[in-house]
Amino acid sequence: MNCRAGIATTAFALTAGVSDVDAQSVETFAPASLEELVKEGASVYRSRCAECHGLNGEGQWQDHDAAPRLAGKLAPLSVERIALLIIQGGSYMPRFDSLTHREIAAVATFVRNSFGNNHGIVSEEEVAGHR
Ligand code: HEC
């Protein structure tokens, strides 16, 4: 693959919202609306977070999957704290640094704007800044 083709492929992947290692190495980000991020974040949440935090953010308190309720209590969690928590993990929460900037931005935006929370976007730029 020559250089031009590589750039074209990466640009296409970003526009299409497909994230891969190539796309991550390019530090320019396609703008995303709240609706797009929430929609993408919902699917990341279902596959990576719901087992502990519950499909409706209800949390759970037994067994090794115990996790706090996310519904209606995220106000004090800043963009920085939520980005760092997802990237680095917590005392018991696993780290999710294998997710792309876009997936982390999407799932962070999803939890900040679901379950009665209403705290706005976490952008890919903000996530990238905390890697
Ligand atoms: C293995 C269970 C587990 C999984 C999976 C998990 N978490 Fe957590 N999460 C926790 C625990 C336990 C805490 C409490 C903080 C700690 O571990 O130090 C927490 C804390 C949080 C908090 C802070 C809540 C607050 O009120 O302070 C947020 C936000 C959060 N998780 C989001 C996520 C997201 C988004 C995902 C998926 C990418 C995820 N979690 C996956 C267990 C989990």
Q: Torsions phi, psi of 89, nearest 5?
A: 80, 175
Smallest CA separation from ligand 1 atom 40, residue = 49
Residue 40 has pLDDT above 80, yes or no: yes
From CA 107, how far away is CA 127, in angstroms rounded? 11
pLDDT, position 38: 98
85 lines ligand 1 (CB under 6 A): yes
Residue type, 84: L
In this prediction the pTM is 0.82
Q: Give the chain's domain count.
A: 2
Probe residue for ligand 1, chosen from 63, 86, 93, 103 as the CB with the greatest number of ligand atoms within 8 Å: 93
Q: What is the 5 CA–ligand 1 centroid distance (Å)?
A: 40
The reported pLDDT for the residue numbered 6 is: 47
pLDDT band at 124 (very low <50, low <70, confident <90, very high): very high
What single letter denotes the amino acid at residue 1?
A: M
Domain identity same for 99 and 57 = yes
The pLDDT of 4-33, averaged and rounded, is 60
Containing structural domain, residue 45:
31-128
Residue closest to 105 by CA, chosen among 27, 41, 9, 35: 41
On whether both 36 and 61 belong to a single domain, the answer is: yes
Ligand 1 center to 65 CA (angstroms)? 10
- Examine the domain organization and report whether 23 and 43 are in the same domain: no
CA distance 50 to 30: 27
Residue identified by tokens 């999803």 is 110
pLDDT of residue 63: 72
